Structure 1
Amino acid sequence: MRTEPFAEKELSHDAFLGGRLRIAQPKTGYRAGVDPVLLAASVPARAGQTLLDLGCGSGIAALCVAARVPGVSLAGLEIQPAYAVLARRNSATNGLALDVTEGDIADLPAELRARQFDHVIVNPPYFDRDHSTAAEDSGRERAMGEALPLTDWVRAAARRTRAGGTVTLIQRAERLPDFLATMAAHLGSLEILPLIPRRGRAARLILVRGRKGGRAALRLHDGWLLHAGHDHGQDGEDYTAPTSDVLRNAAALPFPA
């Protein structure tokens, strides 16, 4: 766990959403890629609603929601003090209010236990360390290596969601069996959207959404295609036009109707 604040020389300053956001994050340690941007783009938030990012890191996912949907009230929970400092800094730099609380999902601070939200988003650690190798950097390991079971993340998210609200998470496709039953026990109207790297390839990541009190049957959607072409045969990026619109222009990534 990273507790000491990052020195300026340890940070990079990176553009997200085509420059709409300027984000400070560590040069080494946990660095956000496209995953939190895709997660944020999929949230069906509207102006005037509230959103909680459980495990908000440096704040990228929550701030991406605010950049796309002005008027959403943001809160975040982060266990690593150094990353919580970055989230507050990034909030101020971009002029987007994000109320960051330091604490553990396994023992939520009282100020969050007293609240419920229209939307909760979760980008939990991807890797079960019983079957993978830990990262050398302690901050990156805390963000990427599972210390708390995925089922506990799901329960915490569901408890903080008001009736009719949504929980949306991004995770590796292979981890779906580890949390789907728990999600179904606490949420309804479950939807799974595979993120397909290229046409003809298996999904590596999935977006999963549930609604508090939802009653619709589970839906497994056709996948969202990330890259054009069967191979990376050019210099630079080769995202599909809809994915590029999400990453560069703060467009929504809607689940199919």
Structure 2
Amino acid sequence: MSDDNLTCDAFLGGLVHLWQPTQEYRAGVDPVLLAATIPAVSGQSVLELGCGVGAAVLCLGARVPGLVLTGVEREHSYAALAARNGGAALEVVTADISALPLSLRQRQFDHVLANPPYWRRGASVAASDPAREAALGEQTPLQVWITTAAKRLVPKGQMHVIHRAERLPDLLAALPADMGSIEVLPLAAREGRAAERVILRARKSGRADFRLHAPLILHRGDRHRDGDQYTPEVRNALRKGAALAF
């Protein structure tokens, strides 16, 4: 992609700048919220599956200095942008998550995160743009995303996945038997609204009881108004790079 077809956008109040396409799939708030929930500490290793232009993994790296960051992205143009955005701080592997190279299959990570495509194409219409469709339409089954993430974790390592709320049963069913300490954080647009997204956390070899957390409310008020209407907790995560309690 030429620079004429890109914008350089600020995330976390300018802590992160990302080159991304003007017309194709563009990173929104979901990868930023996902990154804000990961309790990483300096020195740990992080792998993002389907990293796109690097929004989630680089936002996490900006909040927690000293992480070893790796991203996997199938689409060559997006992998190139992720490498440009991350520079020396981000190792980018261009590969399909269902066919990772041996060099990556021989490694394990403290944290694995993913923002898989949300839409099953048997029940929705495909996007006309191939790159946008790759980001939004589920071509690789969700089971493969979860299984691949679990395999790449060190013992006691954590997986974090954001997805649509109606796919929570599929997420839970896809977890391998050695993944425990499962927690779910629902994301609701406003007080009193049903959750539209969930963030799933699970730990390899974890033994803690299942926890369903109270919803994280994204916006103040009962309806949309002009201006920034994020709740203080969410605004701090999106604008200042603060962690979200989970």
TM range (shorter): over 0.9
What is the letter of the counterpart of residue 237 of structure 1?
D
CA RMSD between the two structures: 0.9
| Structure 1 residue corresponding to 2:235, chosen from 226, 230, 244 | 244
**Aligned twin of 1:235:** 226
**Aligned twin of 2:11:** 16
**Aligned twin of 1:37:** 32
What is the letter of the counterpart of residue 56 of structure 2?
A
Shift in Å, 1:237 = 1.7
**Aligned twin of 1:135:** 127
Contact 1:50 1:73 in 2 (8 A): yes
| Structure 2 residue corresponding to 1:63, chosen from 44, 47, 58 | 58
| Matching of residues 1-257 of structure 1 within 5 Å | 6-92=1-87, 97-183=89-175, 185-232=177-224, 234-255=225-246
What is the letter of the counterpart of residue 166 of structure 2?
E
TM-score, with length taken from structure 2: 0.98
What is the letter of the counterpart of residue 88 of structure 1?
A
Contact 2:165 2:195 in 1 (8 A): yes
Query: Secondary structure, in 3 states, of the residue corresponding to 2:62?
Result: helix
Contact 1:155 1:186 in 2 (8 A): no
Contact 1:184 1:190 in 2 (8 A): no
Contact 2:36 2:60 in 1 (8 A): yes
Equivalent residues, number: 246
What is the letter of the counterpart of residue 146 of structure 2?
V
What per-residue deviation string (whole Å, max 9, x for no partner) do you get for residues 164-209 of structure 1? 1100000000111222122153410100000010001000000000
What is the letter of the counterpart of residue 156 of structure 1?
T
Query: How far apart, CA to CA, are the structure 2 residues paired with 1:179 and 1:222?
Result: 19
Q: Which runs of 5+ in 1 are unaligned?
A: 1-5
Query: How far apart, CA to CA, are the structure 2 residues paired with 1:133 and 1:18?
Result: 34
Contact 2:109 2:154 in 1 (8 A): yes
Contact 2:150 2:176 in 1 (8 A): no
Query: How far apart, CA to CA, are the structure 2 residues paired with 1:151 and 1:254?
Result: 27
Contact 2:147 2:176 in 1 (8 A): no
Query: How far apart, CA to CA, are the structure 1 residues paired with 2:245 and 2:56?
Result: 16
Deviating beyond 4 angstroms after TM superposition, the runs of 4 or more aligned structure 1 residues are none
